[in-house]
Structure 1
Amino acid sequence: MTNWNDRISPIVKSVPPSGIRRFFDIASEMEDVISLGVGEPDFVTPWSIRESCVYGLEQGYTSYTANRGLMELREEICFMHKRRFELDYNPKTDVLVTVGVSEALDIAMRTILSPGDEILIPEPCYVSYKACATLAGGIPVPVPAKAENDFRITPADLEPHVSPKTKALLIGYPNNPTGAILSKEDLEAIARFAVKHDLIVISDEIYGDLTYGDTKHVCFAGLPEMKDRTILLNGFSKAYAMTGWRIGYALSNPDIIAAMTKIHQYTMLCAPITAQIAAVEALRHGEKYMRKMVSEYDKRRRLIYDGLQKAGLKCFEPKGAFYIFPDITSTGLSSEEFAEKILMQEHVALVPGNAFGECGEGFVRCSYATSIEQISEALARIEHFVNHL
């Protein structure tokens, strides 16, 4: 009898399944579960964005687009970056519209990494980062960000991990899972580090619009000497509540975008035209809806931060995205034990911190992209769980 597992690529077999999914597979079969785990807005995509898609379908827009995406959308993406960050990108040569930011991340890795190339990846980080690097033939090099430094990465953290094989650096701020941000001064220091070591920087800024208080997002490509050196990734899933539309984009210099487009045209061909039409509407008229959602996230952020502190779990106060990363070491449980026990006993679904890298052990990720009522009930259950350990 053929052992088909032996026929699977060793590279694929070396990549573990997503650490996020296991607990939600269990939770999906349980009743009365409150999920603070999935990083998905609970808002419906704003009406005018949905309506633009419906109108496009009625007008018969059902064909392929150019590989790089609708020119109309590429122009709006470039205009937005000019308006907000004073960045000049050419819509003909510097933009690629992708099937979600996930595709942009994947093909960016495949474009720049040759077998054996190393890429520095600060942790805790989004679960796909290391997997995509490995699948591209590269070697992900984890760099722990310290909780005592508010999970901000610094050149001092990065420097010991540089080797002659280091080719790139991946940063994702505002950060998933911690909610950490980097100030302009932090980013400028990283920019100098990238120049010093001649690194390509992949900057995942999908949560860039989700910052709170007086905090303003700083676009990494807008820093001195960084525009051509940076592959800027962004999209519409989080800020515009468009996760299911699967629409993202990459911005970089013409050579890198041309190479990424080559992979894109052989694998995806183009992003769905209906999603691209909706994205045009989001950029033209969606900011008012996005600001309203951000304001609601901010209320939830303060509620969950105060509630977790009250429950006796030490927390870093998140400044961006819609996650909080409480320290659960005081309970004496590992991240996996905490997540499993609270799911079984209190029906609250969280993600163990070690799903985001080894340095995430001792933490769990909670998403506050759910209603005030759900968060309040989840906090009551978490407090009950911690008090009765």
Structure 2
Amino acid sequence: MKKFISLISAAVFSATLVLPQTLAFSAAAEESTLEESTVFDAAAAEANPFQATGTANTLPYQLRFVPERNFVTAEEVAAGDVVIPAAVYISGSTANRFGSVMVKYDAFRNDEKTDSVYFSGISTGDNAHRTSEKKTYNSSQGTFTTDYVPYCFGSVYDDEYDSNSPMFTTREYACDPIFGSTITSAGKNKIKFSASFYNSADERKNGVKKTTKEFVADVTVDENGNGVYSYDYIDQSSFQTITKTATLPRYNPDTPEGEKLPDTCNSVMWVAGTSQLKDGAEFLGSTSDEFPLFHVNIVISKGTASGIYDVQFLTRETVGANEAPTQLTSNKSKEFPTELVGTSIAVGVDSVAVTDSQQDNVQFYTDSNTNIIRATDFASKILADVTYT
């Protein structure tokens, strides 16, 4: 049976896009589903530690941002916000145990951060995202039914799914920048949060119980649609009263009272910090990417200008000062080498000219699944005429 091959690269283009030019691609090895699958898979399993379960990890892990689609028409974005569900996967050897995963990402256009594309609706494998309806999943570990969102470090024993009590920290809901308390609406153009603190150095020294206070602040909306608020607090080092000003992304003044306010949804940290995972976590399934690490929505704002928008994982060079970058660590706190593969969304783009392009990060997929075919499964380079529809 003939297999059709599509191209996923640094920019993924919309329907009717034809790339008639000859392109040269090179990449590292992983997996294929060609018709000679029996022979090829046996050879790949021997040579490829990403596919051969139980072997040492001699190649970097790969963190992948995978949206359900990579294009939005001009008509769609003119009519309103467009929401594209996506998931983040880890690909690599299943031989290692993981202690933590930090994932940070943002949207860019022409390498400049953009507010036209943002993120919403993070869904992780913890208790906070359990559903009222149980679903049945078929996996390499057997069939199981659960109301959890299965994720790559969960487990299945005797057909029972266990989330392993994961510890997730996300930017799903806004928190005040001083105390880290969750912010809720206090009515139109108002927010509130509770925090505990010492009023003086003597209180802390003498073990006096902390004061708990509900902070309420007025919110104004700036020209970018972000909420701006200020509040006074007692600094816990100097015990001086300080005024803090902070922002809320895409603030809705009419958020019902008591409802949590959304944050940027662009950061997720998982830590194997429970008794069940004290020695680190294994992957759920026969491959590391049988289940995602988490789900999140990519939102393209109404009226976004036509162009290619990139979702990039943040590295040591691109995170803010004193912030941890995207990284994967073992149960021994050793950082794993990691290849970061973002994605791109074409907005209102009908055609793009590409000529004689050589890229190291190109990935091929068959039409039946998303298992990656790497260039060096066959040779150091593939020379191909590519048509994308």
Which interval holds the TM-score relative to the shorter structure?
under 0.3
The normalised TM-score by structure 1 is 0.22
Structure whose residues are more often strand by fraction = 2
Structure whose residues are more often helix by fraction = 1
The normalised TM-score by structure 2 is 0.22
Between the two structures, name the one with larger relative contact order (CA 8 Å, sep ≥ 6). 2
